[in-house]
């Protein structure tokens, strides 16, 4: 049994997440994406390969349509997404990734791979594998946390 208090687990998970994300964004800034923020990666993943309407973006992110519209506007302003008329509904628009948005996701994936390799060296490959399996099991117990339940993600 752990010698830690129960409240420490979420703080440790948050700290590890924060370390990964802070390093990611420092590296993205160095590689030409100084305005990239964590929400941008989530939103660009939620767009999927074919893009989505603002309403669908909101559903995929679990936010209101108004919050999704604000996120979409910001993604357009920084050049990560573009809006085009919906092919089947003249009242709607489809938000898609731009080349710059796709590049940011590609770079993020490469940086995450390097972080993973470094963590494997730090912890050992077997320990890291066990940690990942344990975290996947814990996330699988939480409704809505499975990446497979998030439409459009990681496409």
Domain count, the chain: 1
Give me the pLDDT at residue 87, please. Answer: 83
Nearest to 17 by CA among 143, 140, 137, 139: 139
Please answer whether residues 153 and 46 qualify as being in contact, where contact means their C-beta atoms are separated by less than 8 angstroms. Answer: yes
Please answer whether residues 71 and 39 qualify as being in contact, where contact means their C-beta atoms are separated by less than 8 angstroms. Answer: yes
**Does the residue 155 lie in any domain?**
no
Nearest to 62 by CA among 154, 150, 152: 150
Please answer whether residues 40 and 104 qualify as being in contact, where contact means their C-beta atoms are separated by less than 8 angstroms. Answer: yes
Alpha-carbon distance of 18 to 51, in angstroms, equals 28
Domain that holds residue 61: 8-149
**Does the residue 24 lie in any domain?**
yes
**Does the residue 112 lie in any domain?**
yes
pLDDT per residue as tens, the chain (155 positions): 779 999 999 999 999 999 999 999 999 999 999 999 999 999 999 999 899 999 999 999 999 999 999 999 999 999 999 999 888 877 888 999 999 999 999 999 999 999 999 999 999 999 999 999 998 888 776 555 445 454 444 43
Alpha-carbon distance of 71 to 41, in angstroms, equals 11
Please answer whether residues 57 and 47 qualify as being in contact, where contact means their C-beta atoms are separated by less than 8 angstroms. Answer: yes
**Does the residue 116 lie in any domain?**
yes
**Does the residue 80 lie in any domain?**
yes
Give me the pLDDT at residue 26, please. Answer: 97
Alpha-carbon distance of 60 to 39, in angstroms, equals 13
CATH number for 105: 1.10.10.10
């Amino acid at each position: 049994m752990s010698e830690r208090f129960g409240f420490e687990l979420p703080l440790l998970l948050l700290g590890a997440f924060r370390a990964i994300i802070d390093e990611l964004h420092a590296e993205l800034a160095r590689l030409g994406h100084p305005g990239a923020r964590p929400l941008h990666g989530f939103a660009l993943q939620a767009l999927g390969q074919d893009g989505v309407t603002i309403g669908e973006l909101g559903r995929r992110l679990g936010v209101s349509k108004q919050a999704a519209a604000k996120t979409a506007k910001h993604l357009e302003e920084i050049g990560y997404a573009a809006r085009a008329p919906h092919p089947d509904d003249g009242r709607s628009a489809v938000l898609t990734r731009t080349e710059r948005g796709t590049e940011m996701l590609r770079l993020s994936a490469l940086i995450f791979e390097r972080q993973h390799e470094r963590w494997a060296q730090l912890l050992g490959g077997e320990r890291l594998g066990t940690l990942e399996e344990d975290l996947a099991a814990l996330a699988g117990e939480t409704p809505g946390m499975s990446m497979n339940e998030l439409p459009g993600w990681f496409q």
